Chain A
Amino acid sequence: NAGVTQTPKFQVLKTGQSMTLQCAQDMNHEYMSWYRQDPGMGLRLIHYSVGAGITDQGEVPNGYNVSRSTTEDFPLRLLSAAPSQTSVYFCASSYVSGRGDEQFFGPGTRLTVL
């Protein structure tokens, strides 16, 4: 079991560029989510999905898009990167939608937008 994998591990973008952060899990989890972590801000929920074909917004969704075509994959798209999106991004998954279930996190993607 690889658990939750994320690629790339590091990325530098210029303002206005687009990119996709990849996330995959091999645990057959229904619930997947994306967080960003900024110094002194904790983890903030960007988007989440309760199953294939279903996505919804979290606390800080502006500037990000997601889709969930399969149970395994949950990519996060930045359409036009801005310096405010410089952050560490974590993908997480769990068996069901929260309710005390353990969240399994990926190793993170460190994104810098110049």
Chain B
Amino acid sequence: TQLLEQSPQFLSIQEGENLTVYCNSSSVFSSLQWYRQEPGEGPVLLVTVVTGGEVKKLKRLTFQFGDARKDSSLHITAAQPGDTGLYLCAGEPAGANSKLTFGKGITLSVRP
């Protein structure tokens, strides 16, 4: 059973469009992270959220952590071809000795 479910799995949009993707779970997380991975490279951290209801902005990217700390969303405004990549969410379930667990990822393609 996948602890973190990401949706949609694939997304192909035109440059300039807005989009929202999701990372959902039935478990509570002490923190949640979003990474972006480009082909042939390792994932790179975009943001970490730790407080329920927290909203963080990174230029055109807006990240939100759910009030109950079970889910997160990523909204991209006016997507650009440079946003193309695999977006992974990762979280640590609340509780002692919990290990970071990753979702399966969302493949985003932004067409010029």
Contact = CB atoms under 8 A, between A and B. Distances in A.
Interface in A57-113: 58-59, 90, 92, 98-100, 102-103, 105-108
A53 interface: no
B9 to A, nearest CB: 8
A42 to B, nearest CB: 4
Nearest to A38: B104
Contacts, number: 56
Most chain A beta-carbon neighbours within 10 Å: one of B2, B42, B101: B42
A105 B41 CA distance: 9
A102 B43 contact: no
Interface residues of A, number: 22
A100 B91 CA distance: 8
Given A43-B43, A105-B42, A108-B42, A100 B31 contact: yes
A73 B102 CA distance: 24
Nearest to A106: B42
A43 B102 contact: yes
Contacts of B40: 107-108
Contacts of A41: 104
Interface of A: 4, 35, 40-45, 48, 58-59, 90, 92, 98-100, 102-103, 105-108
